[in-house]
Amino acid sequence: MQIISSAEEMENFGGRLARACNSGCIFYLNGDLGVGKTTLTRGFLRALGYTGKVKSPTYTLVEDYSVAERMIYHFDLYRLGDPEELEYIGIRDYLDEEAICLIEWSEKGKPFIPKADVEVQISYDGEARLLELRACSEIGEKIL
Amino acid sequence: MRVLGIETSCDETGVAVYDTEQGLLAHTLYSQVDLHAQYGGVVPELASRDHVRKLIPLIKQVLAESETNKVDAVAYTAGPGLIGALLVGVSVGRSLAWTWQVPAIGVHHIEGHLLAPMLEEAAPNFPFLALLVSGGHTQLIEVAAWGKYKILGESLDDAAGEAFDKTAKLLGLGYPGGPALAELALRGNPNRFDFPRPMTQRPGLDFSFSGLKTHVLTTWNKQEQQDEQTRADIARAFEDAVIDTLVIKCRRAIKQTKLKTLVIAGGVAANKRLRSSFNEKLNINIYYPRPIFCTDNGAMIAYAGALRLLNNQSEALAFKAYARWSMFD
């Protein structure tokens, strides 16, 4: 359990995750609206050298980034009405072993999304945020 | 010359026929037609993004309505958007063009939105400043002429429409609840809460709406009485903050570019208080598309395609769809 007290710290934490991640990996980012999931992702991408804008993918469902010859996909499944919709938007085209995926609202996509290597749970603690991390695979354990 | 336009970049399936002499002849949007019978009852949720089953019936419908036997080109949204959704429109559009032996024209989704007000009788003239505000985009664009676009500023995080939808959700109005939030704000007291106008204190034309959403949540959680009036008052303060921020940035962009005309397009441009606020606060000619052409639609794609056709721009037979596509490179 970690306490994050500002948006800047949340970005820094995202950066630490990115630097620990040297292969393809699936992250689930769980937590309520406004808790900082996209902020964490922004820090993650910045640490890998991406300098452009990092927008919430709520409307587009997925934003993809190509950084240093790696593909990073930021999913937000909030708007899915049915997990099967993932087939219609072509989710399989996005997934390969080398890709890094950060998936928000993963519960809306089961069972059509890959299993997580690392689950990040973010919750409100007044103005601050609480972070809980769980490794779900060997890759995940290495990262944490 | 007559152009068939196809839009399938996200949730809406839109199809239209535009004639360069006679104007818009027919247009339809999946959500406006009763396809329920075809599904044997209620349309399943996943059909919202299932363009494959909807597109052909819609094309047949607009061709019949406009009494079109032959088109001179087929235009389709080539990006940006969801790749699976885009590919449906791109492949159907290209196939029809090939079958009919007419040019196929890939259109940029944002260009379609920018040009949407030109479908109205009172259409703006180039050059103009455009504010695109929707669920997916918040951008200020300088439109010098057809095909000459320069981005002046955009949202660094949530789009304005997205902020509306998420705030509605936080206030328990369901999702997407942008229009419900606007409705609720009408009953709110404008003087009870004062929300920040994000990024207006520093120079520049970029936007940020993510913090506003968090501000709503903190304010709501602090209230001892979480009643209907408080909900409406927060909705009002939120809406005022978003509209005010958009006005401030537009005023700044007008000053910077010295442009005399403003176009406001995208789903949020249908918001009535936004329109009255802009009309009242900015002393400039403002043009909006009619509300149904503010959101994604086929008419804007048919129109943008017609302009490309008139400018002799069509594509070779190989095709591609672009999930991410900058209009400014």
**Are the Cβ atoms of B170 and A34 closer than 8 angstroms?**
yes
User: What are the chain A neighbours of B217 within 8 Å (beta carbons)?
Assistant: 33-34
Q: Is the pLDDT of residue A66 over 70?
A: yes
Q: In total, how many domains does chain B have? A: 2
Domain, as residue range, for B197: 126-288
Please indicate, yes or no, whether residues B141 and B279 belong to a single structural domain of this protein. yes
Complex-level ipTM: 0.79
Q: For A15, how many CA atoms within 13 A lie in the half-sphere containing its CB? A: 11
Residue in chain A closest to B135 (alpha carbons) equals A59
Any alpha helices (H) in chain B, and if so which ranges?
36-39, 51-65, 83-100, 109-115, 160-170, 178-185, 210-222, 228-257, 272-281, 299-310
Please indicate, yes or no, whether residues B135 and B278 belong to a single structural domain of this protein. yes
Which among B156, B170, B324 has the least Cβ separation from residue A33? B170
Give, as one character, the DSSP assignment of residue B207.
Answer: B
What proportion of chain B, given as a percentage, has pLDDT over 70?
92
Mean pLDDT (chain B) is 90
**A/B interface, count of CB pairs below 8 Å:** 83
A55 touches chain B (CB under 8 A): yes
Q: Where are the domains of chain A?
A: 2-143
Q: Is residue B319 part of a domain?
A: no
**Are the Cβ atoms of A79 and B157 closer than 8 angstroms?**
no
Range B254-270 average pLDDT = 96
CA distance B176 to chain A (A): 8
More confident residue, A26 or A68: A26
Q: Is residue B170 part of a domain?
A: yes
Residue in chain B closest to A64 (alpha carbons) equals B324
A79 touches chain B (CB under 8 A): yes
A60 touches chain B (CB under 8 A): yes
Which among A33, A63, A89 has the least Cβ separation from residue B213? A33
Please indicate, yes or no, whether residues B65 and B179 belong to a single structural domain of this protein. no
Q: Cα B226 vs. chain centroid, distance in angstroms?
A: 33
Query: Residue B79 and residue B111: Cα distance in Å, rounded?
Result: 10
Query: Where residue B37 falls among pLDDT bands split at 50, 70, 90?
Result: very low
Residue in chain B closest to A125 (alpha carbons) equals B218
Q: Is residue B218 part of a domain?
A: yes
Please indicate, yes or no, whether residues B236 and B260 belong to a single structural domain of this protein. yes
Please indicate, yes or no, whether residues B193 and B135 belong to a single structural domain of this protein. yes
Helix axes B160-170, B228-257, angle to 10 degrees: 170
Q: Is residue B268 part of a domain?
A: yes
Range B10-19 average pLDDT = 93
Which among B46, B157, B170 has the least Cβ separation from residue A85? B46
Residue in chain A closest to B85 (alpha carbons) equals A89
Number of H helices, E strands in chain A: 4, 7
Which among A62, A63, A82 has the least Cβ separation from residue B45? A82
**pLDDT at residue A23, rounded to an integer:** 87
User: What are the chain A neighbours of B210 within 8 Å (beta carbons)?
Assistant: 34, 38-39, 56
**Are the Cβ atoms of B324 and A88 closer than 8 angstroms?**
no
User: What are the chain B neighbours of A73 within 8 Å (beta carbons)?
Assistant: none
- Output the pTM of the full model: 0.87
Please indicate, yes or no, whether residues B112 and B142 belong to a single structural domain of this protein. no
Task: Give the CATH number, domain containing residue B213.
Answer: 3.30.420.40
Query: Residue B292 and residue A80: Cα distance in Å, rounded?
Result: 23
Query: Residue B158 and residue B123: Cα distance in Å, rounded?
Result: 30
Please indicate, yes or no, whether residues B209 and B250 belong to a single structural domain of this protein. yes
Q: Is residue B323 part of a domain?
A: no
pLDDT tens-digit profile of A70-105? 899 999 998 887 888 888 777 887 887 789 999 999
Q: Is residue B45 part of a domain?
A: yes
Query: Where residue B62 falls among pLDDT bands split at 50, 70, 90?
Result: very high
pLDDT tens-digit profile of B200-242? 998 999 999 988 988 999 899 999 999 999 999 999 999 999 9
Please indicate, yes or no, whether residues B163 and B238 belong to a single structural domain of this protein. yes
Do β-strands B2-7 and B14-19 pair in parallel, antiparallel, or remain unpaired? antiparallel
**pLDDT at residue B11, rounded to an integer:** 82
Between A79-88, A122-131, B44-53, B154-163, the lowest mean confidence (pLDDT) is in B44-53
B180 touches chain A (CB under 8 A): no
Q: Is residue B317 part of a domain?
A: no
Please indicate, yes or no, whether residues B186 and B83 belong to a single structural domain of this protein. no
Q: Is residue B139 part of a domain?
A: yes
CATH class of the domain defined by A2-143:
alpha beta
Please indicate, yes or no, whether residues B169 and B271 belong to a single structural domain of this protein. yes
**pLDDT at residue B329, rounded to an integer:** 63
Please indicate, yes or no, whether residues B48 and B134 belong to a single structural domain of this protein. no
**pLDDT at residue B317, rounded to an integer:** 59
Please indicate, yes or no, whether residues B137 and B279 belong to a single structural domain of this protein. yes
**pLDDT at residue B33, rounded to an integer:** 43
B175 touches chain A (CB under 8 A): yes
